[in-house]
Structure 1
Amino acid sequence: MTALDYLLLVVAGFGAGLVGFVTGLASIVSYPALLAVGLTPIAANVTNTVALVAVGIGATANSLRELTEMGPRLWRWAALCAAGGLAGALLLLWAPEGSFEAVVPYLVVAASIALLAQPRVRKLAGGKEFPVLFPAALAAVAVYGGYFGAGAGVIFLALTLICTAMSVWQATILKSFLLGVANLVAALVFAGSGEVHWGAAAAMAVGCLLGGWCGPPVVKVIPPTVLRVAVALAGFGLAGWLALR
């Protein structure tokens, strides 16, 4: 890899960090950038997971007060996402290549539809929360996050807004933190796989850290409805890209 390649990865990492926090679509920026500098699909996938840990670190450092206000349940959710990230990482290393990816576009489309329908669904639910369904769904999304991850943020945001009474702002912060936990555990697994390109991961992580740090202030000034609809529309675009690539 050349110095220009590493510079491209830093810039792509910043874009992935910012886009990832705001919309949950970090991999649509970072994964193609890793392929563009010559990594194989598997190497790009695991290197991407390692680099994206920095998004969660940057965003968490800039929204720590809001996270701590969620209380003890935050750590229960984090434990579930850690277990899911571990399962997803092992699935990627052991399962046949592409064994799960065929259903991913449909999951992202379903999540995007759910985001658009969220106000109506919450009204039908009468403001009720789903304390059993939500943790189980978190663990399932974390498995996907550890396995591949593209669109995991969209799915996570949809589930949080449907199953809880959280605002879009709170759900966005929670999404970044918990997917960061899943990515961290998966990254630890991938570290011993021999597939990670550490130079590329380090360069991209620098950009991801800065992009993740800048994410919370950006989301604060975006009207919640605009953000929810924008994420849903971006999700449809991601689903199309995943289906055609």
Structure 2
Amino acid sequence: MDLSDAALLLVAGLAAGTVNAVAGGGSLITFPALIAVGLPPVAANVSNSVAVCPGYLASVAGSWRDLPPRRAVLALLPTALVGTTIGALLLLNTPARAFELVVPFLVLGATAVLAFQDPLRRLVGHPRDLGARRRVVTLQVMVLLGTVYGGYFGAALGVMLIAGLALVLDETLARVAALKNMLSAVVGLTTVGIFAAFGPLNWAAVAVVAPATLVGGYVGARLVRRLPPVVLKSLIVVFGTVIGGYLLHRALR
């Protein structure tokens, strides 16, 4: 890796950390950057998953005050751990092509759920109108599906988590984003353990990208607290649409 490669990865890491904290999708900045400096796709995907983890942790630190009640958060962490493990093992043991074709539609679908959140709530019921058991089960299912995706291919994980969580939680979007950051951190830490043991990691690339995502993640999380809900929601929908379109273009080439 020469100086220009390192500079490219540094800038990509800063941008990705900030984007991940605000809306998710930062991996679509770092993943192409890792490809551009010469890593094979699988190694780039694995190295990217490990490198963005510090940014998730910084996002948690920046949004700690906005987290929902701690007991509710703790109840979701085992599900997130199981889902991420399933997704990471799928990545290491199955062909990627079929999932690559599905991923864009998952991202675009999640973005549409967030964009049309209010009509969907009227259709399925507002979270405050759901029974306690149904709300808990639905939330756990959302987290499981989102973290399986995150363990396999984390791009747009934030968009998918926010879309699902906002549909079943009666919380402000800032608090939903804080919970998304916590779950993303669980995904990141779990994939670090699995990929460090079994994946084709490029540690030099990780060493450049990881500190940059740490800085960007903290800055992005602080920015979320200052954005009006309408602006934040619009940014996430735009990011999700762009990311989904990009992934669809890549899959169909």
Q: TM-score, normalised by structure 2?
A: 0.92
Percent of aligned pairs with the same residue? 36
Q: C-alpha separation between the residues in 2 aligned to 1:86 and 1:167?
A: 29
- Residue 209 of structure 1 and its aligned partner are, at CA, apart by 0.2
Q: C-alpha separation between the residues in 2 aligned to 1:40 and 1:110?
A: 29
Q: Which residue of 1 aligns with 2:138?
A: 133
Q: Deviations over 1:161-210 (max 9, x none)?
A: 11111211011111111011012111211102251101101110011000
Q: Which residue of 1 aligns with 2:85?
A: 86
- Residue 230 of structure 1 and its aligned partner are, at CA, apart by 2.0
Instruction: List aligned pairs for 1:1-245, cutoff 5 A.
Output: 1-67=1-67, 69-124=68-123, 125-126=125-126, 127-129=128-130, 130-245=135-250
Q: C-alpha separation between the residues in 1 aligned to 2:208 and 2:192?
A: 16
- Residue 120 of structure 1 and its aligned partner are, at CA, apart by 2.8
Structure 2 residue matching 1:100: 3-state secondary structure: helix
Tell which deviates more after alignment, 72-81 or 40-49. 72-81
Q: Answer whether contact 1:160 1:166 (CA < 8 A) is retained.
A: no
Q: C-alpha separation between the residues in 2 aligned to 1:136 and 1:217?
A: 29
Large movers: runs of 4+ above 4 Å: none
Q: C-alpha separation between the residues in 2 aligned to 1:178 and 1:44?
A: 22
Q: CA 1:55–1:128 in structure 2 vs 1: closer, same or farther (change >3 Å)? A: farther
Q: Deviations over 1:133-178 (max 9, x none)?
A: 1111101110110101112211110011111112110111111110
Read off the aligned partner of 2:14 and give its amino acid letter: F
Q: C-alpha separation between the residues in 2 aligned to 1:57 and 1:194?
A: 21
Read off the aligned partner of 2:159 and give its amino acid letter: V
The CA RMSD over aligned residues, in Å, is 1.4
- Residue 4 of structure 1 and its aligned partner are, at CA, apart by 2.1
Tell which deviates more after alignment, 81-90 or 119-128. 119-128
Tell which deviates more after alignment, 226-235 or 120-129. 120-129
Q: TM-score, normalised by structure 1?
A: 0.95
Q: Answer whether contact 1:46 1:195 (CA < 8 A) is retained.
A: yes
Q: C-alpha separation between the residues in 2 aligned to 1:97 and 1:223?
A: 38
**Unpaired stretches in structure 2, ≥5 consecutive residues:** none
Read off the aligned partner of 1:105 and give its amino acid letter: P
**Unpaired stretches in structure 1, ≥5 consecutive residues:** none
Q: CA 1:64–1:230 in structure 2 vs 1: closer, same or farther (change >3 Å)? A: closer
Q: C-alpha separation between the residues in 1 aligned to 2:199 and 2:80?
A: 24
Q: C-alpha separation between the residues in 1 aligned to 2:98 and 2:198?
A: 19
Q: C-alpha separation between the residues in 2 aligned to 1:221 and 1:155?
A: 22
- Residue 60 of structure 1 and its aligned partner are, at CA, apart by 1.4
What count of residue pairs does the alignment treat as equivalent?
Answer: 244
Q: C-alpha separation between the residues in 2 aligned to 1:144 and 1:118?
A: 21
